[in-house]
Amino acid sequence: MKKRLLALMLAAAAALSLSGCSGQENNSSTAENSGSEELTKVSIVLDWTPNTNHTGLYVAQKMGYYEEAGLEVEILPAPEGGSSALVAAGGADFGIDAQDTLAPAFVGEDALPVTAVAALIQHNTSGIISLASDNIQSPKDLEGKTYATWENPVEQAVIKSLMEADGGDFSKLNLVPSTVSDVITALNTNIDTVWIFYAWDGVATELKGYDTNFMDFAKLNTTFDYYTPIIIANNDFLAENPDTAKAFLAATAKGYEYAIENPDAAADILLEAAPELDPEIVKASQEWLADQYIADAEKWGYIDPARWDGFYTWLTENNLVDGELPAGTGYSNDYLA
C-alpha cells in the first residue's frame, strides 16, 4: 500500500512539473460565462498521443466552449504510468482511460479513487485485423497464426473466449509479445494479426490500399461491446466540485457534437493542435468517427449500465480481477447534462 501511495505521489509531482500547476477552484468561483469571474482551471490528461478520439476536447478549447462555461482547460500529454494513476493522485482532474484496463483500479485495498463519467465513443470499435491473403475470417481461423500481444490477461482472455466460442483452440495461436506502433509494417513482417481500433489503424490500412479482414469484437459478442475510451475523474474533485465537473462535460459534449456535424473542420482543429499527425488519416478517421461518438445513444457521453455491468460481470466470472465488481462499480452518468 505504501509503495502504491508513493507511486501516486510521484506521478502527481511529475504531472505538475510538466504542466505547471493546473490548479483547482471550488464551485463558487466557476464563472457562468467568459465575461464574469475568473476562469476555473481544469486539467485532463490523455491516454495516448493526440488522435481523433480526442478531437472534441480540442474543438471545445479552440471554439471557446470551455471559456463560455467559465473554464480554463489544460490538456496534458499521456504519462508513462497511465492516466488513472495520475488522476487518482490529483495530478489531473480528469483523464482518458478504458473500461477494460481500468477494471483492476476498482478492487482490492489499493483501489484507485476515480470514476468514469463519460464515454468518448459509444461502442467498442476495436478488433483483430489481418491481411486478406492470410484468410483469417473468423476467430477459429486464428489457429496456427501469429498474434502481437501486449501480454494483458484481459486482452488474451477476450481472444480466447472468441476462439473457443467459434470452435477454435487458443493454445494453437502463436503469441508474440510486441507493442505495435505501425500496424501496416507489423502485418508485413512475421505478425499475422494485431488488435486495433478501426477508426485509426483500420482507416489507415484502407487509405494505403491494403485488403484486410477485420473481426469486430462488439459484433462477435455483445459482452465485449464495453466502453473504450472513457473520461474518468478524481473522486475528491467530483465530490468537491460537482458543478465544475458538469460544466466541463457539457462543454466537452459541445466539442464532440461539433465534430459530428463538421468532421472536416474538426479535423483541421486537431491538426492545428497536433501538426505531426498524418492529415489524410486524420481527415478520413474524423469522417468515420462522426457516426460513432454518439451512435445510437440518447446523448454524447452516456454509459449504458447494462453494457458496463455486463462486461465487469464477465471479468469477475472469469477471475480476471482480484475481487468482485458489483453492478454500478466505477461509473456515473450524474455529471452529464
Question: Quick one: what percent of the chain has pLDDT higher than 90?
Answer: 86
DSSP 11-52: HHHHHHHHH-------GGG--SSTTSSPPEEEEEE-SSSS-G
**What domain count does the chain have?**
2
> Is the confidence at residue 30, as pLDDT, over 70?
no
Confidence of residue 26 (pLDDT cuts 50, 70, 90): very low
CB 312 within 8 A of CB 98: no
Quick check: is 137 in a domain?
yes
Are 216 and 234 within one domain? no
> Is the confidence at residue 194, as pLDDT, over 50?
yes
Are 220 and 235 within one domain? no
The answer to which of 181-190, 218-227, 327-336 has the lowest mean pLDDT is 181-190
Q: Is the pTM of this model over 0.85?
A: yes
Residue pLDDT, tens place only, 47-61: 999 999 999 999 999
> Is the confidence at residue 112, as pLDDT, over 60?
yes
Are 179 and 245 within one domain? no
Cα–Cα distance for residue pair 32/59, rounded to 1 Å = 19
Are 114 and 255 within one domain? yes
Quick check: is 41 in a domain?
yes
Are 154 and 271 within one domain? no
Are 118 and 143 within one domain? no
Are 164 and 259 within one domain? no
Are 218 and 241 within one domain? no
Quick check: is 51 in a domain?
yes
Are 183 and 281 within one domain? no
- The H or E element spanning position 71 is strand 71-76
Are 112 and 245 within one domain? yes
Quick check: is 195 in a domain?
yes
DSSP 103-142: GGGGSSTT---EEEEEESSSS--EEEEEEGGG---SGGGG
Of 181, 203, 224, the residue that ends a domain is: 224
> Is the confidence at residue 104, as pLDDT, over 50?
yes
Of 224, 242, 267, the residue that ends a domain is: 224
Quick check: is 326 in a domain?
no
> Is the confidence at residue 18, as pLDDT, over 60?
no
Quick check: is 329 in a domain?
no
3-state secondary structure of 169: coil
What is the per-residue pLDDT for 81?
84
CA 183 to chain centre: 19
What is the per-residue pLDDT for 108?
86
Q: In 10 A of CB 261, how many CB atoms?
A: 10
Domain that holds residue 68: 2-123+227-317
> Is the confidence at residue 274, as pLDDT, over 60?
yes
Are 46 and 95 within one domain? yes
Question: Quick one: what percent of the chain has pLDDT higher than 70?
Answer: 89
Average pLDDT over residues 144-159: 96
> Is the confidence at residue 11, as pLDDT, over 90?
no
> Is the confidence at residue 1, as pLDDT, over 90?
no
CB 73 within 8 A of CB 60: yes
Of 224, 247, 276, the residue that ends a domain is: 224
Residue pLDDT, tens place only, 210-226: 999 999 999 999 999 99
Quick check: is 325 in a domain?
no
Nearest to 97 by CA among 111, 79, 70: 79
| Residue 26 or 198, more confident | 198
Quick check: is 119 in a domain?
yes
CB 326 within 8 A of CB 245: no
Q: Which residue has the cell 489544460?
A: 74
Domain with residue 286: its CATH number is: 3.40.190.10
Q: How high is the mean pLDDT of the chain?
A: 91
Average pLDDT over residues 195-209: 96
Are 236 and 217 within one domain? no
| Residue 1 or 41, more confident | 41
> Is the confidence at residue 20, as pLDDT, over 50?
no
Average pLDDT over residues 83-111: 95
Confidence of residue 37 (pLDDT cuts 50, 70, 90): confident
What is the per-residue pLDDT for 98?
97
What is the per-residue pLDDT for 15?
44
